[in-house]
Amino acid sequence: MSPEMPSDRFVRIAELSAHAGQSVTVRAWVTHVRSSGKIAFAVLRDGTGVCQTVFVKNQLAPEVWERFAELTTETSVAVTGGARAEQRAPGGFEMGVTDLQIIGTSPADYPIQPKEHGIDFLLDNRHLWLRSPKQRAIAVIRSEIEQAIHDFFYEHGFLRVDTPILTAAIGERSGLFATEYFDLGNAYLAQTGQLYGEAAAAAFGKIYTFGPTFRAEKSKTRRHLTEFWMIEPEVAWNDSAANMRLQEDFLTYLVQRVLERRGAELAELERDITKLESVTVPFVRLDYGEAVAIVQKKGSVTQWGEDLGAEDEALIVADYDRPVFVMNYPKGAKAFYMKENPDDPRTVLCNDCLAPEGFGEIIGGSQREDDYDKLLARIHEEGLPVDAYDWYLDLRRYGTFTHAGFGLGLERTVAWICGLQHIREVIAFPRMMHRLRP
């Protein structure tokens, strides 16, 4: 430590309450300053909390008082002083300053100012925008949800399996990012880990994957990213009904966990938590045909056979205060691997889970086709390259098994729980059709 650095203990702002009455040093960034000539205040942020620091001119060395004048928004500092409870201060604690060191100055042109900025400007400055209180609240809730996901599956005896990002087999119909792969032709960035998850389920029983997935979708909607994170459980011997029970238990666990532990962050986002409190099992279950009838009655032009669009989904959930499962879509609207519905072979045993308040599809799930010949026929029908799926077909050749799983889109789930209309804010550095920087 350099001689001029204070020798007191460094603490994080969140730890101040454990140091009441002691002299401590906080290293942080300045969010704002104000001064009345004899007394001055700097509010600090260090990611764990915010803290007001109080400078009293006649109690400070003159050079420390003068240094206060150099503080600008986002100057990084080490502030030493006595920690004390102060109910009126943001965070409930403040520091009576005895010393101030400037670590990094911050010129007056700091791009993000306390005024309305356009979304493109904010996204261009995403590396700095992350420092704002709202963005911190979102990041904290996302991290809580990620931890809760791991805890849920761990407690339920699932194995986490990491599946490849560079793949040869195509999982979904949406666009692919291709890259040259040595002498082996094209590799594709994984759209899903599911096919590998199915192999792992036959080996390990109950598994889940948690990884980044990629879709070269030219959709500029509020719920599409080109890179997003997906959680995909796959369970040997689960049928479609058991698959939905797992989904509702899982989602209610995630919502409860955020309500229990992240109330302050939900409040920062002004989230109406009564909407989250009504997320309880059982969720609503609608057959696809019923769903089409509902949206048609409300004026939609969607016909039986078509996938449901975002507007249809909003019409469906409008009648309910909890998530809705829409079950058993027509074969033509869904992916090749879904199991034919024995009660209506025009349809497959699948479900989407639609979040309430108009947030739409957050989960896609299905029972998988376990009949070798039917699966092979579907691969042909879809025009997929059969040789890329030889290993996947092996799962039906050697001890085929009833199994089901689903994919939860992390960003859509976080956006819903946070009550945010656009998913671009719930990932630190969003990747979208027109955005690769920062």
The answer to whether 364 contacts Mg ion (rule: CB under 5 A) is yes
Residue with tokens 């009126």: 88
Lay out the sheet containing 206-214: strands in order across: 159-160, 206-214, 227-236, 403-409, 360-367, 350-355, 324-327, 284-287
Beta strand ranges found along 328-368 (DSSP E):
350-355, 360-367
Q: Is 362 in the site for ligand 4AD (CB under 6 A)?
A: yes
215 vs 322 by CB, closer to ligand 4AD: 215
User: Does 224 interact with ligand 4AD (rule: CB under 6 A)?
Assistant: yes
Q: Please, is 227 exposed, middle or buried when counting C-beta atoms within 10 Å of its C-beta (0-12, 13-18, 19+)?
A: middle
CA distances from 391 to 207, 208, 388, 395 (A): 19, 20, 8, 7
Interface residue with ligand 4AD, options 55, 129, 152, 228 (CB under 6 A): 228
At 60, the amino acid letter reads: L
Q: Is 248 in the site for ligand 4AD (CB under 6 A)?
A: no
HSE at residue 241, side-chain half, CA atoms within 13 A, is 0
Instruction: Confirm or reject binding of residue 74 to ligand 4AD (CB under 6 A).
Output: no
Query: In the complex with ligand 4AD, which residue's Cβ is closer, 98 or 213?
Result: 213
Q: Which residues contact 256 (CB under 8 A, 6 or more apart)?
A: none
In contact, 128 and 177? CB cutoff 8 Å: no
The site partner of 360 among Mg ion, ligand 4AD, none (C-beta below 5 to 8 Å per kind) is none
Give yes or no for a contact between 364 and 407, defined as CB atoms under 8 angstroms apart: yes
User: What residues numbered 385-414 form the site for ligand 4AD, per CB under 6 A?
Assistant: 405-407, 409, 411-412
197 binds Mg ion (CB under 5 A): no
Q: Give 91 or 193: the residue with its C-beta nearer to ligand 4AD.
A: 193
Residue nearest to ligand 4AD (CB): 409
Specify the stretch interacting with ligand 4AD by CB under 6 A; choose among 81-89, 125-133, 303-311, 355-363.
355-363
Q: What number of H helices and E strands is found in the chain?
A: 13, 17
Contact region with ligand 4AD (CB under 6 A), list: 15-23, 116-124, 220-228, 390-398? 220-228
Q: Does residue 330 touch Mg ion according to CB under 5 A? A: no
* Closer Cβ to Mg ion, 94 or 369, answer by number: 369
Query: What residues line the site for Mg ion (CB under 5 A)?
Result: 364
Query: What residues line the site for ligand 4AD (CB under 6 A)?
Result: 171-172, 192, 194, 215, 217, 224-225, 228, 230, 232, 361-366, 405-407, 409, 411-412
